[in-house]
A and B are shown apart, each in its own frame.
Chain A
Amino acid sequence: MTAALEIDKLDRSFGALHVTRNVDLTLARGARHALIGPNGAGKTTLINLITGVLRPNSGRVLLDKQDITALSQAERARRGLARTFQINQLFRGLTVLENICMAIGERDGHNTNMWRSAGSKRVVIDEALDHLESLRIVDDALKLVRELPYGRQRLVEIAIALAQRPRVLLLDEPAAGVPSSESHLILDVVAGLDPNIAVLIIEHDMDVVFRFAKEITVLVAGAVFTQGTPQQIRADERVREVYLGQEHGHG
């Protein structure tokens, strides 16, 4: 089993607030790993540390065995690390198609070109359309992102990350803010992701977590509380107490 992403003793404080405590986590190639934990456990902080939005005080992040701890966000992204955001981060004033082409252009290095027209590379457009088609939003290709309902925007968020052709994909609550009547559209996409991509997903819906994940890490107060298979986590009394009890108290 080759590790696609390794997090080695990652630690980060904001002043007196110790938000990430000595976290270890390994994603094998093609992993389906869920990161769960109560609010304020430091899940999004961990993603920000992995992607380089934040720098750790100590510890390392390795992508395909290469130490990327010192690299910028952009350099990490170019090496195959993609993410989605908990709150949409899209080019709202551009069309859906342009949003996807942007990611392809950066991935393939087209975006340094000042002289060609942006539409002159048909392969880029076709690939972008393929991505939209696989998420069934090709009909929205020419709509401005800000004109789309939130659920569709969430799909664009994922489409951009997939257009980066990542080896490791970090999904930060992909169905957050989406009405439950539409969330299955997004979760179907997540379930159908390329098996070669290692996926780390933050998700609150336990049904989704248990259906999707093969491994689960429970984060509490910035530290790894426990790690295991869905069966182990489900059976763990302590997890039930700190986390599942709150969410599934009635079930």
Chain B
Amino acid sequence: MAVSETTPGRAARERAAEYLIRRHYFSWPEALPWLIAIACFFIFPDRMTFGSQVLIMVMFALSLDLILGYAGIVTLGHAAFFGIGAYTVALGFVKLGWSEPITGIIAAGIVAGIVGIAAGWFILRYRGLTLLMLTIAFGAMLLESGNIRSDFTGGYDGLPGLTFDPLLGMFQYDLYGRTNYWYVLVVLAVVFFFVRRIVYSPFGQALTGIRENVRRMHAIGSPVHRRLVTVYAISAGIAGIAGGLFTQTNAYVTLTVFDFDTSAKVMVMLILGGTGRLYGAFLGAAVYMILEDKLSKMSPSFWQFGIGLLLVVVVMFAKRGLLGIAEAIGRKTKRGQA
């Protein structure tokens, strides 16, 4: 096919090509969440245990964003993989004496990922409400299995008193969770970089295609099921790493990690922050956790009302989540300057 010789045609081509070529470049606002996370270490040095929990939930929400926000897989059973990761680390210590933290979370990711392949291969043949029900059922089955074998899992009393080796054999854990905070932050950064690569890759584009129009993906020759199982396994692995970190930073674990509540909570966080844009997970998890913390101190029995209200307002008036509001403000100020 002949390339247009006319100047306007050429300019349009160049502009279009540039857009695709530069789309994945880092932009300055992307540094903001990381700078805030680092600043928090210095501003709230005695709240680092809480801070670590926020970062863990960010990672968990990020894993959900990969499948929900990009591939369009609606799940209310993602706690299954968080729980599998949490128990991989816990049982690894209790049964095998595995106390090295970094290999512990790698194992957590691998085990959760393998379960993700198996579960995904089966349930991702379905879509919509059927899929949603299957994810809930899968989570419930894992929870009940853990309950039946509470001699093994500790049930709802949990497995307390887990201790782990110093990080890299050098850094001891402190009472305020400062070591843990850095540990979780670095793992989150690695995971985030990985997820970001995937999202902007041709594979990530194909996932977006599946979300946008699965019929067309079949028609252009995409092996949709294989793509979905692959990303589901990756997401499960990341949720597993988050679960492993949860066990390590809390030094105990109970079956509540498998609860339906955990699955629902992470979905609320993501929707609150905004789906399909990576940083929605950061904003959503942080706002949810901080609100939960503040509101539950103000009103221990009614704190969920506040979060519920915020969710209703966001879903009704800001369909792109809190991040969508931030983006709109960003665009406005940019236009104001110009």
Contacts and interface: CB of A to CB of B under 8 A. Distances in A.
Interface of A: 51, 53, 72-78, 82-83, 85, 89-95, 97-98, 101-103, 105-107, 110-122, 125-126, 129-131, 133-134, 138-139, 141-142, 160, 164
B203 A111 contact: yes
B218 A117 contact: no
Nearest to A134: B1
Contacts of B221: 74-78, 106-107, 164
Contacts of B20: 97-98, 101, 118-119, 125
B198 interface: yes
B332 interface: no
19 contacts: A72-B218, A74-B218, A89-B219, A91-B208, A91-B209, A93-B208, A94-B209, A114-B203, A116-B201, A117-B23, A117-B197, A118-B24, A122-B17, A130-B1, A131-B1, A134-B1, A138-B12, A138-B16, A141-B13
B204 A114 contact: yes
A119 B198 contact: no
Given A117-B23, A138-B16, A164-B220, A94 B212 contact: yes
Given A82-B219, A118-B24, A133-B4, A74 B224 contact: yes
Given A105-B206, A133-B9, 4 more contacts: A77-B219, A89-B219, A113-B202, A142-B15
Contacts of A72: 218
B227 to A, nearest CB: 8
Interface in B170-221: 197-198, 200-206, 208-209, 212-213, 215-221
A72 B219 CA distance: 10
A77 B22 contact: no
A83 B219 contact: yes
Interface in B24-39: 24
A133 B17 CA distance: 13
Interface of B: 1, 3-4, 9, 12-13, 15-17, 19-24, 197-198, 200-206, 208-209, 212-213, 215-224, 227
A118 B204 CA distance: 8
The secondary structure that dominates the B interface is helix
A72 B55 CA distance: 43
A133 B9 CA distance: 8
A130 B2 CA distance: 7
A143 to B, nearest CB: 10
Given A91-B208, A130-B1, A142 B213 contact: no
A92 to B, nearest CB: 6
